[in-house]
Chains A and B, each alone.
Chain A
Amino acid sequence: MTNDPYFIDFPGRIKAIQREMAADGIDVYLGSRLRTLSWTTDAFFPWRSYIVIPAEGLPTAFTFVIDAARAADESWLDTDHVLGFAPMGGQDQIFAISGLILNHLKGKKGVVGVEAGMSNYLPEGNLTHYEYQAFETALPGIKLVNALDIIDRLSLIKDEGTINRFRKAGQMADAGHVAVYNAIKNGGFKKYTETEIAGIAAMGMREAGSVWEWSFTGGNEIASGYRTGFMGGACTPPTDRKLQPGEPLMVDLHSTFKLGLGDHTHNYLLAPATDRQKWHAKNFVDLVALVLKTYGPGVSPSSLADKMMIFCEERGFAEYMVPGFEHGIGMLGDEWRIGRNDGPFPYWTNPDHIYEPSEMLICALQYACPDENIGFRYENAILITKDGCETMSKYPLAVEVVE
């Protein structure tokens, strides 16, 4: 046993995959998604990478040769199990990986599980059409089947080490918010642009130990003024727009700790604030509080959305809400879809997915009133507990007026 709160039993994960492979009749698993690489290796793979998991024994990861030594250094796998590929004879990814798969199959005509499908998350990493055809040619007589559900079902319930990594990443995001608040308070905001706020937050988070502003949507997403109010606008990479009095400010921070992800948004009104702006802010804060109180086991995305939209209607601000209150989250590369690929629209969240204890998601709300140049976002990684949810960021929920 280990006292490391961030310990994850990666060999145990591999054995669990191998049990599922046996049950599904898969002889070798060829993973290519970023989420799969993170979940199985504990290393960051920014290049096109793969992992070959045999029926028994250790897996082997493959990445671009220039980064293989660094990835092996981060991973629990040794240098014989994190290999590099390169554009040269015998070392290109198709040849090297198919060679290893053939070795594992020992001359049998077997079944290789691959990761195919689609995602609205660009870095997902499903096998491309070219790769599929190239592996099919390099593995004659061997059947390739889509097997990504194995990883998706195993990674759904988070273990303690993963949860603690998210807790730590949440603390780091909070440190970023403190840094931003200290910079903007007492009129300090007048000196800064959105990009500078993103940098101040990054510095605060890095000082707290975060290694990366991980989001593909622009690192730390900062919006001010009309940019907070884009309809449906859940993506605001910062610009050089100056912060101005009388405008809203949205601070959406992304920290990273051991492939655990912090994701928290806090909102401000830069003084002076009008009563109408404060009305919008109260609507938003009350709704977030209700959403957080409602999340728990047995809830589904659609049941939660139905309840929340009734509240929004009653309070007269339904027109400003995107009727979605979550997106999926897991170790780096696992973002957007909640749960498994079992919904009515392939590879999108199943709206009737029932949350269970130890699942994690990002509680995510977008409030937008473009006609009034105002909007707010809430994001916070949450853990579904036995009787509710635990937020990873503890930054107090509010929309403060910053003088």
Chain B
Amino acid sequence: MPSLKYLSPEWTAEAEKRLRSQLTPEAMKNLTSSMLTVYHNCPDGKERAFYYKIEDGVFTDISIRENPLPEAEFVISGDYDTFAKISRSEIGSRSALMNGKLRLQGNMVKALSLASIVDRFNKILSEIPCEY
């Protein structure tokens, strides 16, 4: 598979396809939530966000958004470069959070219970061949 440009419409379509096919509602613990990953300082200078909406374990919206950004139960924000490094497995997402390179907004107690699910998302997304 050719490399896709990170956060491009093609990358987003591939991400949606993989997430929907690989994460069943059971694997998602029938979760209902919404998450927004906000990328500051994208290569074109813009701010973008990857938005997921999940109802009863089913993805009902997977999309790239620009301002104005939708509200979400959890918001993870950081520099594009940081997310790129996480996708390339150069740094771990937990390490980035612990070092303050990423910021999480939302109920931390609930976030703890969702950490394993988010790890699954990230693993699937990191397997998409892409260029940054």
Contacts and interface: CB of A to CB of B under 8 A. Distances in A.
A122 to B, nearest CB: 27
A103 to B, nearest CB: 11
Interface in A69-99: 69, 72, 79-80, 82-91, 95-96, 99
A89 B98 CA distance: 6
Contacts of A96: 108
Given A88-B97, A89-B96, A89-B97, A72 B109 contact: yes
A105 B101 CA distance: 27
A47 to B, nearest CB: 13
A80 to B, nearest CB: 7
A83 B98 contact: no
Contacts of A69: 109
B67 interface: no
B100 A88 contact: yes
B105 interface: yes
B78 interface: yes
A68 B77 CA distance: 23
B1 interface: no
A86 B103 CA distance: 11
Interface string B71-113: 0000001100000000000000000111111111101111010
A292 interface: no
Nearest to A70: B109
Contacts of A99: 105
Contact of B109 (A84, A87, A88): A84
Contact of B105 (A65, A80, A90): A90
Contacts of A86: 108
Contacts of A85: 108
Nearest to A79: B109
Contact residues of A: prevailing secondary structure:
mixed
B107 A87 contact: no
Interface in A189-223: none
B80 to A, nearest CB: 15
A99 B105 CA distance: 10
B107 A79 contact: yes
A89 B109 contact: no
B108 A68 contact: yes
Point out which of A65, A72, A80, A89 has the most chain B C-beta atoms below 10 A from its C-beta. Answer: A89
A72 B103 CA distance: 24
Contact of A89 (B78, B107, B110, B112): B78
B108 A84 contact: yes
A88 B104 contact: yes
Point out which of A79, A86, A95 has the most chain B C-beta atoms below 10 A from its C-beta. Answer: A86
Interface residues of A, number: 19
B75 to A, nearest CB: 8
B108 A89 contact: no
Contacts of B103: 89-91, 95
Contacts of B97: 88-89, 91
B31 to A, nearest CB: 16
A60 to B, nearest CB: 10
Interface string B99-129: 1111111011110100000000000000000
B22 to A, nearest CB: 27
B108 to A, nearest CB: 4
B104 A65 contact: no
Contacts of B96: 89
A83 B105 contact: no
A80 B77 CA distance: 21
A90 B109 contact: no
Interface string B14-25: 000000000000
Contacts of B99: 89
Point out which of A68, A69, A80, A90 has the most chain B C-beta atoms below 10 A from its C-beta. Answer: A90
Nearest to B110: A79
Interface in A313-366: none
Nearest to A69: B109
Contacts of A84: 107-109, 112
A361 B110 CA distance: 40
A88 B103 CA distance: 7
Interface of B: 77-78, 96-105, 107-110, 112
Q: In the A-B complex, list the 8 residue pairs whose CB atoms are closest, starting with the nearest.
A: A90-B103, A89-B103, A84-B108, A88-B97, A89-B100, A90-B104, A68-B109, A84-B109
Interface of A: 65, 68-69, 72, 79-80, 82-91, 95-96, 99
Given A88-B100, A91-B108, 4 more contacts: A79-B109, A84-B107, A90-B103, A99-B105
12 contacts: A65-B109, A65-B112, A79-B109, A82-B109, A84-B108, A84-B109, A84-B112, A89-B78, A89-B97, A89-B102, A89-B103, A90-B102
